[in-house]
């Protein structure tokens, strides 16, 4: 059979005989993008339930309560009179954070003593724990600085601005690059869509290879088909379809969730094209190794979660131990996840050529193994 005949045969299988392949390839990534895009649409954690125990009932304590109330990261849902009640509300998950203002707050501030405000946070969810802790520390630090500036201003006879320079001689100018709003939408969604798309690609490629195995087992695979031509056609078709699916996902991300690509088109195409070269190769390799589709599906399902967790997309690679870091280096997604996020949000990828080289070497290795296993099994059954 000629290349064109094999191409028509493969396209007929994809779009007519087994339409689940195109559904998996395009649907998985789009579904994850829309599902988790909606989940993280608010971008940041806000309106964390907060309880206040104001034992002081002074102008200073009320000022702190107002600061907390004005902070959109909190929603004050209750005011109690004891620490025990605060603890009970946290244990019952009515609130996730609590602030206990001591009765002697104003007295200690006036006499120049240290005043301690108790902040309690539910540690069962690290996202709300981190957001609550930072927000409470910010509010208390702002109040502390304001009181100190006013005291210096009164004692030294200085203006508020001059007193502020003495109390706060060093100012932090924080600049967050790439994701200045620290949006969870920007941080998570693109990577989740990419790992889901890779999984859908595996299922599609696996179904294609397993179809040939089934035909060969029942002596239905024509002997006129050259095995190498067949593999080349399958690889090229699924690589092109992967690039199309990637394009659709990035367009949806930009137009629905405003996740824009700050990197150049050429860099994006190089990175995505090389990654899908490796991903298609890995999918074909795994499916060629397993003689039955159910075994391949199990292997693909086992792969996806560790690949995402070990990729460094959520937990930094630099913080992994030797064992986990070594495992991570053998997964193609490790070189795609963080790279595509950096490219999208900062516009630069300093280790681009190193990343592309590693992915290309992986892809070539997977293709060699795939060719060996594919030819071996088909010859055995023909």
Q: What is the CATH number of the domain that holds 91?
A: 3.40.1710.10
How far is Cα 143 from Cα 195, in angstroms, rounded to an integer?
45
What sign has the CA pseudo-torsion 364, 370, 373, 378? Answer: negative
pLDDT given for residue 382 in this prediction: 66
DSSP state at residue 347: S
* Pair 199, 336 in one domain: yes
CA 152 to chain centre: 47
How far is Cα 293 from Cα 278, in angstroms, rounded to an integer?
21
Query: Is 339 inside any structural domain?
Result: yes
Query: Is 335 inside any structural domain?
Result: yes
* Pair 35, 52 in one domain: no
* Pair 70, 193 in one domain: no
pLDDT given for residue 215 in this prediction: 87
Give residue 56's domain range.
48-167
The residue among 277, 264, 265 whose CA lies nearest residue 332 is 277
Q: What are phi and psi of 68, to 5 degrees?
A: -70, -40
Mention every residue, 6+ apart, whose C-beta is less than 8 A from residue 343. Answer: 261, 262, 263, 267, 268, 271, 349
Query: Is 75 inside any structural domain?
Result: yes
* Pair 208, 191 in one domain: yes
Is residue 76 a contact partner of residue 54, using CB atoms and an 8 Å limit? no
- What is the helix (H) or strand (E) element at residue 357, kind and residue range? helix 352-381
Tokens of 118: 């108790």
- The position carrying tokens 């193994």 is 369
* Pair 112, 87 in one domain: yes
Is residue 155 a contact partner of residue 148, using CB atoms and an 8 Å limit? no
Is residue 197 a contact partner of residue 29, using CB atoms and an 8 Å limit? yes
CA geometry: angle at 183 spanning 178 and 187, to 5°? 70
Query: Is 133 inside any structural domain?
Result: yes
Query: Is 341 inside any structural domain?
Result: yes
- What is the helix (H) or strand (E) element at residue 192, kind and residue range? helix 184-217
Query: Is 139 inside any structural domain?
Result: yes
* Pair 274, 250 in one domain: yes
* Pair 345, 206 in one domain: yes
How far is Cα 75 from Cα 55, in angstroms, rounded to an integer?
20
Overall number of domains in the chain:
2
pLDDT given for residue 152 in this prediction: 87
Say what the pTM is.
0.86
pLDDT given for residue 70 in this prediction: 92
Tokens of 272: 């995505």
Q: What is the mean pLDDT of each run of 10 residues along the chain (382 residues)?
A: 88 91 94 92 88 93 93 93 92 94 89 88 90 92 89 86 86 82 87 95 94 85 84 96 96 93 94 97 94 89 91 90 92 94 90 95 96 89 71
* Pair 226, 362 in one domain: yes
* Pair 307, 244 in one domain: yes
Is residue 267 a contact partner of residue 349, using CB atoms and an 8 Å limit? yes
């Amino acid at each position: 059979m000629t290349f064109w005949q094999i191409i028509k045969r493969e396209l007929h299988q994809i779009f007519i005989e087994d339409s689940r392949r195109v559904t998996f390839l395009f649907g998985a990534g789009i579904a994850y993008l829309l599902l988790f895009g909606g989940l993280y649409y608010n971008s940041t954690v806000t309106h964390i339930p907060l309880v206040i125990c104001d034992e002081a009932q002074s102008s200073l304590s009320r000022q702190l309560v107002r600061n907390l109330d004005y902070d959109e990261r909190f929603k004050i849902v209750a005011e109690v009179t004891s620490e025990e009640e605060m603890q009970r509300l946290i244990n019952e998950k009515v609130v996730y954070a609590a602030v206990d203002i001591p009765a002697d707050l104003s007295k200690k501030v006036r006499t120049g003593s240290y005043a301690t405000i108790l902040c309690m946070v539910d540690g069962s969810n690290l996202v709300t724990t981190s957001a609550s802790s930072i927000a409470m520390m910010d509010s208390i630090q702002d109040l502390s600085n304001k009181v100190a500036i006013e005291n210096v201003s009164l004692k030294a006879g200085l203006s508020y601005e001059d007193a502020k320079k003495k109390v706060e001689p060093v100012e932090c100018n924080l600049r967050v690059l790439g994701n200045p709003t620290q949006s969870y939408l920007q941080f998570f969604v693109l990577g989740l869509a990419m790992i889901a798309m890779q999984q859908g690609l595996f299922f599609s490629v696996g179904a294609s290879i397993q179809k040939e195995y089934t035909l060969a087992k029942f002596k239905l695979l024509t002997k006129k088909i050259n095995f190498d031509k067949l593999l080349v056609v399958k690889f090229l078709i699924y690589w092109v379809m992967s690039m199309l699916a990637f394009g659709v996902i990035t367009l949806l991300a930009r137009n629905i969730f405003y996740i824009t690509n700050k990197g150049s088109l050429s860099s994006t195409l190089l990175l995505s094209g090389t990654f899908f070269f490796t991903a298609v190769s890995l999918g074909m390799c795994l499916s060629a190794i397993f003689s039955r589709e159910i075994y391949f599906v199990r292997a693909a399902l086992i792969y996806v979660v560790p690949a995402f967790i070990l990729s460094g997309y959520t937990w930094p690679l630099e913080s992994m131990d030797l064992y986990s870091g070594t495992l991570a280096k053998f997964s193609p997604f490790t070189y795609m996840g963080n790279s595509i996020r950096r490219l999208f949000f900062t516009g630069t990828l300093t280790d681009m050529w190193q990343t592309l080289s590693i992915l290309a070497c992986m892809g070539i290795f997977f293709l060699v193994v795939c060719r060996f296993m594919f030819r071996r099994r088909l010859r055995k059954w023909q």
